[in-house]
Structure formats: structure tokens, C-alpha cells
């Protein structure tokens, strides 16, 4: 793990000092940019007032996005596991048939 470093990120025109490992700086700054974009979109709707409420709405939207992505990944993983089991079964049958042909 690399040494921690302090990174300045800007969200809704306010700067925040955040400490993170050197090898995670790019991911942190990318995450901060994404959060800034989400919060700006919410603020631009004009329906949510106050930085705290905008932050909560952004957090809820991001949590929802995360949970949807997890659900998709779980579905993909389940499908892949099912296919792997099916292929394993076919291989086992083919090997058993091959053994019978040798006898």
C-alpha cells in the first residue's frame, strides 16, 4: 500500500481536503468529479434547495445506481455460473462416452 497523500477536490465550488493512498488519487478525483456532476444536475432542476439536501439526494441516487449495478452483476454472475455448470456436465458426459468407446 502506498503512502497517504492529501488531495484537494472541488464539489459545488467548495474545496475539500481528502487524504488517500497515492495509488488511489485518480479514483478519488474521478469520484469527486462524478459526485460534483450529480449534485450540479440536482441543483439545476431547481426542485431541491440547500447543499445538505442536494448532497442527500445525490447520495440516494448514487446508492440506487450502485444497487442496480450490483443486481445486474449478480444476474450476470448467476447466468455465467449456470453456463459453466452446463458446460461441465457436457464435458463429463463426453469424457464418460469417450471412456466407454475405449473399452
Reading the chain (103 residues) residue by residue, the pLDDT tens digits are 678 899 999 999 999 999 999 999 999 999 999 999 999 999 999 888 889 999 999 999 999 999 999 998 888 988 888 888 888 888 888 888 887 776 6
Q: Which of 3, 43, 36, 40 is nearest to 20 (CA)?
A: 3
pLDDT at 82: 86
What ranges make up the beta strands (E) of the chain?
4-11, 14-21
Query: Domain 4-102 in CATH: superfamily?
Result: Cell division protein ZapA protomer, N-terminal domain (3.30.160.880)
Q: What is the pLDDT of residue 12?
A: 94
- What gap in Å lies between CA 53 and CA 32, rounded to an integer? 18
Give the pLDDT of residue 1: 61
Q: Where are the domains of the chain?
A: 4-102
Q: What is the pLDDT of residue 38?
A: 95
Amino acid at each position: 500500500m502506498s503512502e497517504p497523500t492529501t488531495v484537494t477536490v472541488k464539489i459545488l465550488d467548495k474545496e475539500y481536503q481528502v487524504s488517500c493512498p497515492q495509488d488511489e488519487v485518480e479514483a478519488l478525483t474521478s469520484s469527486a468529479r462524478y459526485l460534483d456532476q450529480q449534485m450540479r444536475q440536482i441543483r439545476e432542476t431547481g426542485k431541491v434547495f440547500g447543499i445538505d439536501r442536494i448532497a442527500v439526494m445525490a447520495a440516494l441516487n448514487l446508492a440506487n445506481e450502485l444497487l442496480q449495478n450490483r443486481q445486474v452483476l449478480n444476474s450476470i454472475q448467476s447466468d455465467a455460473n449456470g453456463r459453466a455448470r452446463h458446460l461441465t456436465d457436457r464435458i463429463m458426459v463426453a469424457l464418460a462416452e469417450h471412456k466407454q468407446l475405449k473399452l
